[in-house]
Structure 1
Amino acid sequence: MFRFRPINLGVTLAITGTVVSLTAPLHSAQAQTTAPAQQLNRVEVTGSAIKRTQVEGPAPVEILRRDAIEKTGATSLNELVRNIASMDIFDQGELTSNSPAGSGAASFRMRGLDDTNLLVLINGRRLPVNALYDSSGAGASVDINMIPIALVERVEILKDGGSAIYGADAIAGVVNIITRSDYQGAEVYANYGISSRQDGQEQRYGLVTGKGSVAEDGYNITASIDYFKRDPIYRKDRELSKSVDFRRYGGRDARSGFSPYGNYVDPETGAFTGGSVLPCPAANLSGGICRYDFNSSLLTAYNGADRLNTMLLGALKAGEVNLTGEFIYSQSINHFESHPVPDYFTVPSGTGLIAGRFMQGGPRITDRKSILTSTAVGANGMLGEYEWKVDVGRAASRVTNNDSNYYDATLWTAATESGALDPTVTTNDQAFVDSLKVRPRRDGISIATYVNTLLRGDLFQLPAGALGFAVGAQFRRETLSDKPDPLSQAGNVVGSIQQSAVSADQTVKSVFGELSVPILAKLEGQIAVRYDKYSEYSAASPKLALKYDVLPELAFRASVAKSFKAPALKQLFGASEQGALTISDQHQCDLLGIPAGTTCLISAYQVNGSNPSLKPEKGKTYNVGAIFEPTPMFSGSLDFWWVYKTNEINTPTITQAIESGLVGRDERTNQFLIFTNLQNYQQRAVNGVDLDLQGRFPVNGLGRFTLRESITYTKSNRIKTAEGTDEYADTYIYPKYRNVVTAGFDRNEYSTQFVVRTTGGFWDTDEPKPIAEGVNRVAPYTEVDWTGRFGGIKNVFIDVGVKNVFDRQPPLSLTNALNNTYSQMGFAELYSIRGRFFYGKVSYRFM
């Protein structure tokens, strides 16, 4: 186990001690003024099931309200994440169009952990995970692109373990998306945006309407509809990504060896012989191999999108009982194109085997349709002095991929082996080509059905205040069905990967209890525990938190929580999937026995698969921090956090698999098979600091200036295996910090805001420290956004803005450029290559 070493507590105490000394005189002065007592309403804030009068409790919670969200100009939750320093970014699903499961999807991440470690709720209720995700478990999370930002009232981010309250799998934390409700009136809006290079055009239109007030009329109905369309941006249209030949940046030529001219391959070793079926143009010849540049056409650098989202909310006061209903329907349609079929083709010439690309077949096409539906009904009321609450709901994610321009492997092999079809020309009989084609289809559905019950209130009075409690029971059933067509399951589709079918379900029964304990007048404790029972395993998830109000201007908080995360259904019950892999690392070639002097560029297959023996991952989360407000104009928080995981599920790297002898041969092509099946084989320890400073500066007769500094610094991200402990912080996609500075000015109906976002640099390698000699350093990256709002016309609001004002392009990463595990656009998936972007929005409100 990693040792828990809170060595930064001294720093915390030193800083907060300084704040105490600075605020003590202010505290004395304020104490002389007595304000009239008033009854404060209690509200529920993510992090506790007990209502409270203060937003700041023992747990660190960041809240983004609607006005702040609108000022960012974000058109999706995925874009909004870029303005939240505590959230991580790995945006491959929005940047690439050739991933069968991930393209078009997006997810939340935090604390240097995978997206599956962060629980995403909508109005406190669970959503189903994306219906199509990899057999490794990657992507088994909520697709946040299916949640329209137009319907969001606020986003609450719990930044420590939420397992005891919300579910055992909330290891990194919880994101609770609260939608608009109790809306009265109507609002229509229209958005338009376009990049300075005249691409990536965005359009958005919507309507929100509501009638009735629950407090005054006893009912409310709120309805909304939002439509969003975005045109793609192509790799060929940006300097950095226009070619995979990165020799122009000091890298190597990463153009594909699957060439339309047909590179001969040695059937025994998988190595290229240096010859080709057709003469290779000089511009394509590199390293004795005929190359194909897949970035120079067709592939996207930023995917298009076509999304329709609707929501209907209802609330009714029936005597002493409040009834609620919620219906969400979201639809996303994507059209993806990738290059014509590449594969190993059997031919009646040369070595009898080529790495080719059949251009006559046209681009491979995937038409993807995703639908999210969520229906929930609830009731709450009072049972004496206690509040009760019941929610029942069902949510489903449905995804269908319809593919075209692929081929039946059996028919294809016979046709090319006999010479009836020449895969290196475009003059084959088209009718014969079409007779070999197949249209693979993949249907997935993920369903979450649940019943939540809650009882809360005050048990009795203690000397320091009321002892608050909450108890609840939950029932949840998760089902997953992923059905590729039979040819895809058999691995008999030329140009596609083998895909496994899954039909699985699990039931989870949970009970939990929470106490809010006023230990002393200024010391509050939170004690919570949850017990979750799955079919094969069960565990308790306790949490203990404290908040000490040293002064009205200063408070300390600390928490510790345990959690466990069950394997995803596909990790347990899926089958094997395999995809093409290019091996170019000399050490790997040596281990595979490739003869010395042979070019190390071996085409192989990587095989991933499930493991029914997987055990749950276990986690511990610690947080120690301070909240301070020395003056009404200045406030902030400082939190040190640690996350520890054991039994973490992962796949061995290619090198680890080869070193372990997890190597075989494909029966059809005799190419190497590299097995990287899932295992509970590692532990992880991540720790860092969150700092949030906010200033509010009103100027009489002018308006109000605001300034916010928010930074998350990750000190360490270590992985421990049987071979030792590796440090990944400050390496590829794990920068040590993200910083967001926001400066704004508001005057009546007018406002303007600048946002400066900085992502720290990192070593350009995905290998752990120590860093090898000669590895480059990726520079820090900063973007500046400007937004403005004008409301001088009655009921009309105009928003304009420029994102990435200075038209910054991402810094070069050769790890991304040269490794087909990533997008190969030349920059890490932490940024966008869109460049400067102009947008405007007009809203009209019917009062």
Structure 2
Amino acid sequence: MFKRNALSLAAMLAVGGMAASPAWAQQAQPQRVEITGSAIKRVNAEGPAPVEVITKKDIEKTGATSVNELIRSIPSIDIFDQGELASNSPAGSGTANVGMRGLSSSETLVLLNGRRLPINALYDSSGAGAAFDINSIPISAIERVEILKDGGSALYGADAVAGVLNIITKTDYRGGEATIGYGQSSRSDGKEKKAGLLFGFGDLSKDRFNVMLGLDVLKRDPILRKDRELTRSVDFRRFGSSDGRSSFAPQGNIIDPVTGGFVNQTYTPCPAENTNPVGRCRYDFNASLLTSYNGADRVSGLVMGSFQVTPELKAFAEVLLGQTKDHFEAHPVPDFFVVPITNESQRPYEIPADYGLGPDKVYVAGRFMQGGPRITDRKSEISQVAVGVDGTIGNFDVMANLSRGESKVRNQDRNYYDADKWVAATTSGQLNPTVGTNDPAFVESLKLRPLRTGKSVTEEANFRFGGDAFNLPGGMAKYAVGAQYRRESLNDTPDPKTQAGDVVGSIQQAPVDASRNIKAAYAELSLPILKTLESQLAVRYDKYPGVSQTSPKVGIKYTPVQAFAVRGSYTESFRAPVLKQLFGAQEQGAINVTGPAECQILGVPLDANGECQVNAFQVNGANPNLKPETGKTFNLGVIVDAGPFNASVDWWRIKKKNEIGAPTVESAIRQGFWNREGARFNIFTNLQNIAERENEGVDVDARFRMPNTAIGTVTIRESLTYYNKQRRRDSASDPLDEYNGTYALPRWRNTFSVSSELGPWSFTGAVRSVAGFIDEDDPQNVSANSRKVGGHEELDVQVAYTGIKGLTLSGGVKNLLDKMPPFSNTNATDNQYTQMGFAELYSPRGRFWYLSVNYKFF
């Protein structure tokens, strides 16, 4: 029904356009273009709002094989790449999202040709990962990327709190080109093979139509943690840190059922090399199996058809399809096992009778190695279909389109166990989880193959018209008004056993089946008050079920001389909770509690070294009473365009209230949000409107172009994002803490590049650098003695040759100096993170060389 309506609407507007403009001849006039962030087309691309443009040429110089790799070279984009690095996240592994301004990825709106894309079908109950997976777009079809840096877009949605990333594809492409490429690390792993095809025919100006097809294929081998010195072992004492090996050891560490603490005695003998000084057995999960950079098997395609209805009106149809297959392996099942007492020394730790597990039993924290690694085969499919018209009918600029986007994800798990059968088998002694000599057939009879499926759908209708309003001293004022209707739905269905928490080795996952309708209207005015002064006024009204909000925007640009301008803007944002935050249930994940103060609150004694480790479960959950988040964004900047030199410097500030978040594990323990179930501790961090945030920074983008030098045309570019503040309050009773410069929140990111074009040759060198930070993720723990993590730089070089007709040969080296990420103790010791020993801002790939061949065949 939705697709039929789209075609009908396009046809009606096409007929109307032909009736309004019967003459085909088009008069020469300045080309007006639509700039991301404004509904009004303009001749001058620089408006009051700060928009960064990454051209096709810029993209090629990075050597990027995916959109996710491309954004690593853009300082205004935040990097926290857990989806590409971690292979044991049920929702996040294999995905890549975009974040800006120190905010979450769900607060940056990702568009394809100005239209919303569906969010990932599987995301955490906290709302993390409720964003579009940018790896789904074929990079070969991209014409440019535009980044709107002031939040709360009146045109696209007031929920774009951090900003908008608009990926714009080619629209009138003629010819064909094929690309093949190969790359690998200097350690002969992480191999990448890519192929791309771009084909288009039809000339809009002559034939009145154009059809374009883009197809990308990427296959990438994983990099294992064991194959890098930094990540080879979670025993980080070699870096002056602690032994992070897991207490869920195959030999089974016995637990005191009264205190819930370890008694430093194992169920079966532990090898001496795996025993820590107090007698606890350890397991090194970084020493095998786990990846430090995930493999990938991706296919993405884009088909776009355009038809010139009249010289002023174009109709289009667009289809985006993408598929990703991932194979993830995690270590064999860890859990708290109930096993029979095997000798009298275990008797003091016998499980009390009122636990209902029978006499002569003890708890052990173990890992059942015989069952093999836990395996997840993930298949993700993305589709987006859009049809519409765009152009002029009479004196009106008109745009209308309908789109439907769908994300489908299928996680098929193996080597997990039915909890009921498992408890019966271990309690009775039929299965000993600390040895590898159990009857294989019996082991297989206990196994489950949990299946989790998800589907996220976004259907949207947009209509907009505008034109001239009235004369002002600076020219003609222009207006645009529009309306949007959007329907969002989410179906996330874990295996029934997983929903009940009855799968050994997995976390409890909540089902969601919810939808909602959203209506919006907006208006924009472009006011050339003087020849040197223009203003942008906009307002947007959003109506969600049970709540609505009006969000204004004001922008101004003053150009006293042609080479210099000042601009500023104020925007309000409004972001309703995503569906799973409202309608999901509780989910659980294993964590370690190591803080002495928290252990004492939990009643777990410290060991002889004054340390402790409590294996607990963090319980997250939705909250149907959540309120929308609200925010205010301020921007003030200058633009210089003086011949060979051009630059922009923009100061910005975002203030948010009612931010949806969860108390930290430490805060939850301090507030008493925990309980015990036998030897198991549950820490409750359910969602609340508790947070307040204030982020502030400066963006700098400067270029200097020198033509006709001895080494050709040289371009020098400096691009910097610097954070002045990243403040957050996690609850009403907490202070507004400064997180700027703490774990994974560096004060600045910078890219400095020099490129030269000399005849058929082009050369590019770029230094990408990230500031260091204090190695603490809680500002209240920061002191003068806090450990510092150093900055990190990587040098990329590329050379390209176009001296053979139709052929482009390019090759380069990323991270030429083979710099490894700096060590982070916070990452190493806290399993909220990857525990690879470095913040998720970088990659351990090291030096990586690549070659690419592009041939334009007509």
TM-score by length of 2: 0.93
- Secondary structure, counterpart of 1:661 in structure 2: coil
Corresponding position of 2:634: 622
1:246 pairs, out of 236, 244, 247, with 236
Inter-CA distance 425–152: structure 2 relative to 1 (3 Å threshold): same
- Aligned equivalents of 1:39, 1:393: Cα separation in 2: 31
- Aligned equivalents of 2:400, 2:605: Cα separation in 1: 68
Checking the alignment, whether the CA contact within 8 Å between 2:605 and 2:612 is kept in structure 1 is no
Checking the alignment, whether the CA contact within 8 Å between 1:270 and 1:604 is kept in structure 2 is no
Q: CA deviation at 1:473?
A: 0.4
- Aligned equivalents of 1:39, 1:224: Cα separation in 2: 32
Checking the alignment, whether the CA contact within 8 Å between 2:137 and 2:301 is kept in structure 1 is no
- Secondary structure, counterpart of 1:160 in structure 2: coil
1:832 pairs, out of 825, 843, 850, with 843
Q: Could you list the per-position Cα deviations for residues 589-645 of structure 1 after superposition, in whole angstroms to 9, with x for gaps in the alignment? A: 111122455751111111110000000000100000100123x11110111100000
Alignment RMSD (CA, Å): 1.2
1:430 maps to 2:440 = yes
1:171 maps to 2:161 = yes
Inter-CA distance 424–524: structure 2 relative to 1 (3 Å threshold): same
Corresponding position of 1:538: 548
Q: CA deviation at 1:55?
A: 1.2
- Aligned equivalents of 1:779, 1:798: Cα separation in 2: 37
Checking the alignment, whether the CA contact within 8 Å between 1:188 and 1:208 is kept in structure 2 is yes
Corresponding position of 1:483: 493
Corresponding position of 1:348: 340
Checking the alignment, whether the CA contact within 8 Å between 1:160 and 1:622 is kept in structure 2 is yes
Checking the alignment, whether the CA contact within 8 Å between 1:269 and 1:671 is kept in structure 2 is no
Q: Which moved more, 1:86-95 or 1:268-277?
A: 268-277
Aligned-partner residue type, residue 688 of structure 2: Q
Q: CA deviation at 1:160?
A: 0.7
2:691 pairs, out of 666, 682, 685, with 682
- Secondary structure, counterpart of 1:344 in structure 2: strand
Corresponding position of 1:514: 524
Corresponding position of 1:656: 667
Corresponding position of 2:484: 474
Q: Could you list the per-position Cα deviations for residues 200-250 of structure 1 after superposition, in whole angstroms to 9, with x for gaps in the alignment? A: 000001211000111121000001211000000000000000000011111
Corresponding position of 1:325: 317
- Aligned equivalents of 1:123, 1:288: Cα separation in 2: 60
- Aligned equivalents of 1:693, 1:210: Cα separation in 2: 35
2:752 pairs, out of 707, 726, 741, with 741
Corresponding position of 2:449: 439
Inter-CA distance 452–623: structure 2 relative to 1 (3 Å threshold): same
Q: CA deviation at 1:383?
A: 2.9
- Aligned equivalents of 1:559, 1:576: Cα separation in 2: 41
1:757 maps to 2:747 = no
- Secondary structure, counterpart of 1:695 in structure 2: strand
- Aligned equivalents of 2:151, 2:251: Cα separation in 1: 55
Q: Could you list the per-position Cα deviations for residues 370-392 of structure 1 after superposition, in whole angstroms to 9, with x for gaps in the alignment? A: 00000000123433211211100
Inter-CA distance 366–696: structure 2 relative to 1 (3 Å threshold): same
Corresponding position of 1:636: 647
Corresponding position of 1:5: none
| Total equivalences in the alignment | 807
Checking the alignment, whether the CA contact within 8 Å between 2:338 and 2:426 is kept in structure 1 is yes
Aligned-partner residue type, residue 603 of structure 1: N
1:390 maps to 2:381 = no
Aligned-partner residue type, residue 725 of structure 1: L
Checking the alignment, whether the CA contact within 8 Å between 2:85 and 2:293 is kept in structure 1 is yes
- Secondary structure, counterpart of 1:290 in structure 2: coil
- Secondary structure, counterpart of 1:841 in structure 2: strand
Corresponding position of 2:38: 48
Corresponding position of 2:716: 707
Corresponding position of 2:329: 337
Corresponding position of 2:297: 306
Corresponding position of 2:600: 590
- Aligned equivalents of 2:615, 2:854: Cα separation in 1: 54
- Aligned equivalents of 2:450, 2:430: Cα separation in 1: 24
Aligned-partner residue type, residue 612 of structure 2: C
Corresponding position of 1:115: 105
Aligned-partner residue type, residue 617 of structure 1: E
Corresponding position of 1:813: 824
- Aligned equivalents of 1:595, 1:154: Cα separation in 2: 58
- Aligned equivalents of 1:700, 1:212: Cα separation in 2: 40
2:656 pairs, out of 645, 665, 670, with 645
Q: CA deviation at 1:701?
A: 7.3
- Aligned equivalents of 1:443, 1:74: Cα separation in 2: 31
1:234 pairs, out of 224, 232, 251, with 224
Correspondence 1:168-317 to 2 at 5 A:
168-286=158-276, 287-317=278-308
Q: Which moved more, 1:295-304 or 1:112-121?
A: 112-121
Percentage of matched positions with identical amino acids: 53
Correspondence 1:97-116 to 2 at 5 A:
97-116=87-106
1:137 pairs, out of 119, 124, 127, with 127
Correspondence 1:398-413 to 2 at 5 A:
398-413=408-423
- Secondary structure, counterpart of 1:164 in structure 2: coil
Corresponding position of 1:378: 388
Corresponding position of 1:10: none
Checking the alignment, whether the CA contact within 8 Å between 1:270 and 1:603 is kept in structure 2 is no
Checking the alignment, whether the CA contact within 8 Å between 2:413 and 2:451 is kept in structure 1 is yes
1:69 maps to 2:59 = yes
Q: Which residues of structure 2 form unaligned runs of 5+?
A: 1-27, 350-361
Q: CA deviation at 1:747?
A: 2.2
Checking the alignment, whether the CA contact within 8 Å between 2:510 and 2:587 is kept in structure 1 is yes
Checking the alignment, whether the CA contact within 8 Å between 2:599 and 2:606 is kept in structure 1 is no
Aligned-partner residue type, residue 225 of structure 1: L
Q: Could you list the per-position Cα deviations for residues 470-517 of structure 1 after superposition, in whole angstroms to 9, with x for gaps in the alignment? A: 110000000000000100000000000000000011111000000000
1:79 pairs, out of 47, 69, 72, with 69
- Aligned equivalents of 1:636, 1:592: Cα separation in 2: 56
Checking the alignment, whether the CA contact within 8 Å between 1:47 and 1:162 is kept in structure 2 is no
- Aligned equivalents of 1:713, 1:560: Cα separation in 2: 20
- Aligned equivalents of 2:144, 2:461: Cα separation in 1: 24
- Secondary structure, counterpart of 1:646 in structure 2: strand
Q: Could you list the per-position Cα deviations for residues 797-836 of structure 1 after superposition, in whole angstroms to 9, with x for gaps in the alignment? A: 1010000000000001000000000000000000000000
Inter-CA distance 505–458: structure 2 relative to 1 (3 Å threshold): same
Q: Could you list the per-position Cα deviations for residues 9-36 of structure 1 after superposition, in whole angstroms to 9, with x for gaps in the alignment? A: xxxxxxxxxxxxxxxxxxxxxxxxxxxx
Inter-CA distance 701–239: structure 2 relative to 1 (3 Å threshold): closer
Aligned-partner residue type, residue 519 of structure 1: I
Checking the alignment, whether the CA contact within 8 Å between 1:267 and 1:671 is kept in structure 2 is no
- Aligned equivalents of 2:580, 2:201: Cα separation in 1: 44
- Aligned equivalents of 2:158, 2:406: Cα separation in 1: 21
TM-score by length of 1: 0.94
Q: Which moved more, 1:376-385 or 1:105-114?
A: 376-385
- Aligned equivalents of 1:468, 1:332: Cα separation in 2: 44
1:125 maps to 2:136 = no
Correspondence 1:755-834 to 2 at 5 A:
755-768=766-779, 771-834=782-845
Inter-CA distance 381–73: structure 2 relative to 1 (3 Å threshold): closer
Aligned-partner residue type, residue 285 of structure 1: T
Aligned-partner residue type, residue 173 of structure 1: G
Q: Which residues of structure 1 form unaligned runs of 5+?
A: 1-37
Q: Could you list the per-position Cα deviations for residues 532-580 of structure 1 after superposition, in whole angstroms to 9, with x for gaps in the alignment? A: 0001100011000000001101000000000110001000000001111
- Secondary structure, counterpart of 1:289 in structure 2: coil
Corresponding position of 2:463: 453
- Secondary structure, counterpart of 2:846 in structure 1: coil
Checking the alignment, whether the CA contact within 8 Å between 2:210 and 2:307 is kept in structure 1 is yes
- Aligned equivalents of 1:701, 1:670: Cα separation in 2: 74
- Aligned equivalents of 1:493, 1:595: Cα separation in 2: 30
1:719 maps to 2:710 = no
